[in-house]
Amino acid sequence: MAAKDIISRAMLKRLTTDLAHHLLRLKAETVEVLETQNQRIEDRRADLVARMRGIDGKEFLLHIEVANNNTANMPLRMLRYYTDIRFAGHPGPIRQFLIYIGADPLTMPPGIDEPGLLDYRYDLVDMHRVNCADLLAQDNPDALVLAVLCDFGDRKPQEVVTYIVHRLRKLLGADERRFREYITMLEILSKNRDLKAQVEEAEHMLTEIDIESLPSFTIGFGRGKEEGREEGREEGKAQVVHRLLSRHGAGEVSELLGLSVEDVERIAAKGGDKDPARDKH
């Protein structure tokens, strides 16, 4: 989460609260985001440290790390972050969380156990075990943004990211400031999953495509029956495919829309003669 250096502390504070509520199940609010710069040769710093206040009114420090890989020395690094926080003069309870978002199965332990010498523990969150569908189904901007960290299962990354961006647009309506804040948070978190290109493509699609005509929107997320009739939907799909094929090859459009190449070619052939711009007049 190195990108935290270029965003406002207010936004970082909001992101901390979202992580605490939706992923870590902590009933608390962010009181203050703390500096984590430490004078070391390798200039290593903790991802996120914040002072939190629980519903009981008591304060504690929340330390969050996001890991993309199984790192053998991660427990030692977490312990070093703990001692750095203490050496910085921060008293009181410390809750440490390691959020693992890597592609490989989690193998890192939640601490260090050296009998008779050291018994050190932190909380470990494996995003492969977090139900992505639950976050996506909440229709809550905070939950939608955090869903980008989840395991997508058999859904294609572009399909999920596109859904998140367009749901944010619909939920936030004309509130452009809040929409940009959430998109910035999405961009920050997506870097941990190497999804920057997918976010950029989703934002580009936002300006020229009716997302609710996409198969991934109506079928992949179960909104077909509740949010529209089947009549006219095939025409909408054809317009979407035709627009994208003007800029991308069939293989890329297949990835973007969560369709097979054969389906892309079939839909394009069926509606290829239509001009979406002309149809509006």
Q: Where do the structural domains in the chain lie, given as residue ranges?
A: 2-129, 140-206, 208-281
The helix/strand/coil state of 168 is: helix
pLDDT of residue 253: 72
pLDDT of residue 277: 40
The CA–CA distances, whole Å, from 78 to 13, 221, 271 equal 21, 37, 56
Q: What is the C-alpha separation between 47 and 42, in angstroms, rounded?
A: 15
- pTM recorded for the entire structure: 0.63
CATH 3.40.1000 for domain 2-129, yes or no, is no
pLDDT of residue 122: 96
Indicate the angle between helix axes 196-206 and 157-172, nearest 10 degrees: 50
- Bridging pattern class, strands 59-67 and 48-54: antiparallel
Q: What is the C-alpha separation between 101 and 157, in angstroms, rounded?
A: 14
pLDDT of residue 78: 95
H helices present in 88-127, as ranges? none
pLDDT digits (tens), the chain, 281 positions: 544 444 456 667 777 888 888 788 888 888 888 865 543 334 456 678 888 999 888 999 999 988 888 999 999 999 999 999 998 888 889 999 999 988 788 999 999 999 989 999 999 999 888 877 888 887 788 888 888 888 787 788 888 898 898 889 888 888 888 888 888 888 888 877 788 888 888 887 776 555 555 555 544 454 444 444 454 456 656 766 776 777 667 776 776 666 678 877 887 776 544 444 434 44
- Bridging pattern class, strands 94-100 and 111-114: unpaired
Strand order in 94-100's β-sheet?
28-33, 48-54, 59-67, 94-100, 123-126
pLDDT of residue 256: 63
Q: What is the C-alpha separation between 139 and 166, in angstroms, rounded?
A: 11
Q: Which of 66, 227, 219, 213 has the alpha carbon at shortest distance from 148?
A: 66
